[in-house]
Amino acid sequence: MKQYSQMDKAELSALKSELESAFSKHKEKGKKLNMTRGVPSDDQLALCNDMLTCLTADDYKSANGTDCRNYGGLDGIPEVKKIFADLLELTPDEVIVGGNSSLALMFDNVSVNVSHGVRDGKPWQSQGQVKFLCPSPGYDRHFTICNYFHIDMIPIAMGEDGPDMDEIEKLVSSDPLIKGIWCVPKYSNPTGIVYSDETIKRFAKLKPAAADFRIYWDNAYAIHDLGETKKILNIIRLCEEAGNPNMVYVFSSFSKVSFAGASMTCMASSKSNCEYIKQRLTAQTIGPDKLTHLRHALFFKDAANVMAHMEKHAQILRPKFKLVNDKLESHLSGLGIGTWTKPNGGYFVSFDSLDGLAKRVVALCSEAGVALTPAGATYPNGKDPKDSNIRIAPTFPPLGELEEAMEIFCVAVKLASAEKFLNA
Amino acid sequence: MKQYSQMDKAELSALKSELESAFSKHKEKGKKLNMTRGVPSDDQLALCNDMLTCLTADDYKSANGTDCRNYGGLDGIPEVKKIFADLLELTPDEVIVGGNSSLALMFDNVSVNVSHGVRDGKPWQSQGQVKFLCPSPGYDRHFTICNYFHIDMIPIAMGEDGPDMDEIEKLVSSDPLIKGIWCVPKYSNPTGIVYSDETIKRFAKLKPAAADFRIYWDNAYAIHDLGETKKILNIIRLCEEAGNPNMVYVFSSFSKVSFAGASMTCMASSKSNCEYIKQRLTAQTIGPDKLTHLRHALFFKDAANVMAHMEKHAQILRPKFKLVNDKLESHLSGLGIGTWTKPNGGYFVSFDSLDGLAKRVVALCSEAGVALTPAGATYPNGKDPKDSNIRIAPTFPPLGELEEAMEIFCVAVKLASAEKFLNA
């Protein structure tokens, strides 16, 4: 296997012709393959089909006697508050269970802090040009929220153990206009890395210049292990111990546990923060759909069953992640034209092409019918400074389609790389 | 029957003793009766119990093939968009079907107009101290939204045909800081009146000084007739015809059609407004729970069935509204100490005591175990200038309890009135 950088122009030219021919054949097949988003597959959704029918005509009361059909309740029925609390190692009064969208919980939380401020704080919008730290590559929809609220984004480099904590400590302690940071601490979107104990402890011990600085801890993949169950440290307890009890909002979701579009989500924080948030909820909503909560309570019963259920997801997902890695290994290994992650959980594989090729690779894939997340989406404002990061979302397509998509992806990477060296 | 105002002190004093004795007996029973909110009764909820079980394990696709279990879709599945469009006499692209809370739709809409502005408008918050017109008595939760966003509220008198349109036209055309008005056009909360054709036409023809003035048309009781079905004019079409196509947001809800806490709600506006709103929804949420939509689609099938279903609600509600009126008639008629409405639909009876007595009546009721909406709640900032309006919500208690509650209410009104004349 010869590295592309070692090839001369004649070799590269021959290679390019060969790759163009292979690429044309893929194009001719006219496939439509979608790997844009972290979406569960039909198989995964079917794991919960009993939830479609788990209520009988007599099942409408929660454990505390609440009629789940009627109005009432802002923070979830007791059964599901307990499930989330157990999974996150918290108490139920540190948990607010919401509707089907944790994105909505995050959006609302940022919105209210911009317009009204954190508990005992001033509106962020009254304090000047507010900024968030954005470990990158990261989750595009976090960045979209910042964009929507005109919050400046400062990219922070991601490493194997989490974001660059030296940089974060320096910035957070010196700039009172830095009001937040987005974190996906476990199986980070898209790199799949898990924050180390040391990283999480340093987060809890931050000494922000702004008393109203908040960590947005989006634990979207809290229980989404592909292999053995991995526990991360409890950020809420650590913040408490470090004298920062109100500094963190934790978000979690059953979107990739039960039904992606019809699940329940949760926000967790100090009891004091939760009380403050519930005051707003009184003005904002009649509360979440309690029948959906009840379905989850009846189907899952407790946290232990949830964990057992997640192993069924893992059984479906493991072959897909293996296939992606196998294809990348067999086609690209040793060529010096890309690196990629091999995550132990979560929903993504992160691929880094040679600098300047991510947009080209995504465009080539699109020509051949493979839809990928737009290049750059994993960086604030859609701007990947190296134009190298591509998020691969292997969960939705069936194995056969995923194989075809990865074949096309690998040819696209090779072709774009050959072009680059030829034009160098 | 002698009017209280005609009684001399001796008569009043004797009457007061008699009423105090009757009141004490009620208190001794130690009842807990709740008439605070417009909440459907168990009987009404049971009308939809088949919706708890209407999905089979194969029912998860909508008419257009969307898997309702998975992610995707911001404005509702086609079936329920059509049901709302048919009920409101609109087209599906003028309708966004949301989650279980129309309050949340209204809150979000005000929030975004404050922070970002209407389509092609500037943020309301950048334009000075913004105001809303508030026909009063009105719905307390509308006023709470204004309070939350620091929007000044200008009360507008309510008549038999709707709010005082002369006043509204004068204010809206002269003050560019008036950005909105809250309306419950049919069976208005709490007076139960229906806006006349003339009123609705005048709304559509408003010539606001502010290009970003918006009518918040909360058609919460659009199909909630107690007797014959009443149609009001189509405000969206009239606004279109008057050259104000984007001036109105219509809200509607199945909260009092299916399950109060687990229904679906809708926002309707011009196609252009809907498109603008959907752009924001992309940043804000993964979209509404489509399985809840599908349950509604399967249970109700079409608008005609919804209307037939509403007649079942009416059968349950008619005796309650009759009882309230009968009790008020038999106990208070001819005494000159109160007036009340006799609505043909909606969820409330509005009672006006003598000036200055609403708080006292509500407090007396509370002493005897009858919880009412706080006096003043139907006015902006909770301040009823006459302290006379009390909202009676007769839907939730069973008939027997409602009878007891109304007995207590009538004694409380008499006692408070006797006190007033004695102290005059």
A340, pLDDT greater than 80? yes
**Among all chains, which residue has been given the structure tokens 């003028």?**
B94
pLDDT at A286: 95
B249 touches B112 (CB < 8 A): no
Q: What digits encode the pLDDT tens for the residues A311-323?
A: 999 999 999 999 9
Three-class secondary structure of residue B368 per DSSP: coil
A71, two tokens: 């109005």
| Inter-chain CB proximity B56 and A52 less than 8 Å | yes
Q: What is the pLDDT of chain A when averaged over all its residues?
A: 97
pLDDT at B415: 98
DSSP A323-390: HHHHHHHHHHTTSSSEEE---SBSS-EEEEESTT-HHHHHHHHHHTTEEEPPTTTTSGGG--TTS-EE
Between β-strands A349-353 and A389-392, what pairing exists: parallel, antiparallel or unpaired? Answer: antiparallel
B188 touches B166 (CB < 8 A): no
pLDDT at B424: 86
Full pLDDT tens readout for chain B, 424 residues: 799 999 999 999 999 999 999 999 999 999 899 999 999 999 999 999 999 999 998 899 999 999 999 999 999 999 999 999 999 999 999 999 999 999 999 999 999 999 999 999 999 999 999 999 999 999 999 999 999 999 999 999 999 999 999 999 999 999 999 999 999 999 999 999 999 999 999 999 999 999 999 999 999 999 999 999 999 999 999 999 999 999 999 999 999 999 999 999 999 999 999 999 999 999 999 999 999 999 999 999 999 999 999 999 999 999 999 999 999 999 999 999 999 999 999 999 999 999 999 999 999 999 999 999 999 999 999 999 999 999 999 999 999 999 999 999 999 999 999 999 999 8
Alpha helices in A95-220 (DSSP H): 102-115, 140-148, 165-174, 197-204
Interior/surface letters A128-165, b for 16+ CB within 10 angstroms, e for the rest = eebbbbbbbbbbbbbbbbbebbebebbbbebeeebbbb
| ipTM for this model | 0.96
A327, two tokens: 């294809």
A1, pLDDT greater than 90? no
Q: Backbone phi, then psi, for A76, in 5-degree steps?
A: 105, 155
Three-class secondary structure of residue A54 per DSSP: coil
A314 touches A227 (CB < 8 A): yes
| Number of Cβ pairs < 8 A linking chain A and chain B | 164
Query: Is B61 at the interface with chain A, CB within 8 A?
Result: no
Query: Is A57 at the interface with chain B, CB within 8 A?
Result: yes
Q: What digits encode the pLDDT tens for the residues A106-145?
A: 999 999 999 999 999 999 999 999 999 999 999 999 999 9
Q: Please tell me the distance from the alpha carbon of residue B39 to that of residue B270, in angstroms, as a whole number.
A: 31
pLDDT at A261: 97
A226 touches A256 (CB < 8 A): no
- C-alpha radius of gyration, chain A, whole number: 23
Angle at B139 between CA B135 and CA B141, to 5 degrees: 125
| Inter-chain CB proximity B292 and A289 less than 8 Å | yes
| Inter-chain CB proximity A104 and B285 less than 8 Å | yes
A406, pLDDT greater than 80? yes
Q: Is the pTM of this model over 0.90?
A: yes
Query: Is B144 at the interface with chain A, CB within 8 A?
Result: yes
Q: Please tell me the distance from the alpha carbon of residue B311 to that of residue B120, in angstroms, as a whole number.
A: 43
Q: To the nearest whole percent, how much of chain B has pLDDT over 70?
A: 100
Count of residues in chain A: 424
DSSP B283-314: HH-S---HHHHHHHHHHH-SHHHHHHHHHHHH
B44 touches B395 (CB < 8 A): yes
Select from A107, A415, A407 the least CA-distant residue to A284. A107
Query: Is B41 at the interface with chain A, CB within 8 A?
Result: no
pLDDT at A194: 98
Tell me which chain B residues have a C-beta less than 8 angstroms from the C-beta of A289.
99-100, 261-262, 289, 292
pLDDT at B1: 73
Q: Please tell me the distance from the alpha carbon of residue A194 to that of residue A191, in angstroms, as a whole number.
A: 9
Cβ under 8 Å to B: A residues 280-319: 280, 282-292
